[in-house]
């Protein structure tokens, strides 16, 4: 944020952290992965409401794609369920089928949309093949 900050010669801008739908919804096959992605989502929420971001003219959002056709995904889908809880490849495949698989082009298009629309700030962009792209707010309650 320092280099984007208008206070330090920057023009402001947009930071998009990439997490995963696994950080929003229970994923019974990889809870540790989901926890790390939930941490990214929470950190983005914290920064999005910070005075530093507001003063610096910086927008912060988080993109949460579901399954994406990447080498890591293909390894899991091809039968290496050994890294999942329970190691049940049939259950893993049923889970994948239910949610669908995004292409890297789908994810790139969603990223361009959230980066270029200057009205988008403090949002979660949920990306899934079967439901499309859905924005939701990063609501924060006063304590």
The catalytic residue positions are 33
For residues 88 and 79, what is the distance between their CA atoms, to the nearest angstrom? 9
Give Cα separations from 28 to 22, 62, 65, 124 (angstroms). 9, 22, 17, 22
For residues 64 and 40, what is the distance between their CA atoms, to the nearest angstrom? 10
Strands 132-137 vs 123-128: parallel, antiparallel or unpaired: antiparallel
Give Cα separations from 116 to 24, 59, 112 (angstroms). 24, 11, 6
> Which tokens sit at 134?
């859905």
> Which tokens sit at 32?
């540790």
């Amino acid at each position: 944020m320092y280099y984007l900050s208008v206070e330090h010669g920057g023009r402001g801008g947009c930071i998009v952290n990439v997490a995963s739908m696994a950080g929003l919804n229970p994923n019974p096959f990889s809870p540790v992965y989901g926890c790390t992605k939930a941490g990214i989502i929470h950190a983005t929420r914290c920064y999005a409401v910070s005075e530093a971001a507001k003063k610096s003219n910086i927008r912060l959002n988080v993109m949460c794609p579901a399954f994406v056709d990447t080498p890591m995904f293909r390894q899991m889908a091809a039968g290496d369920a050994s890294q999942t809880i329970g190691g049940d490849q049939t259950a893993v495949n049923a889970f994948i089928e239910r949610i669908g698989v995004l292409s890297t082009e789908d994810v790139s298009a969603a990223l361009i949309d959230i980066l270029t629309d200057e009205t988008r700030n403090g949002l979660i962009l949920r990306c899934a093949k079967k439901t499309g792209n859905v924005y939701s707010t990063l609501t924060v309650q006063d304590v």
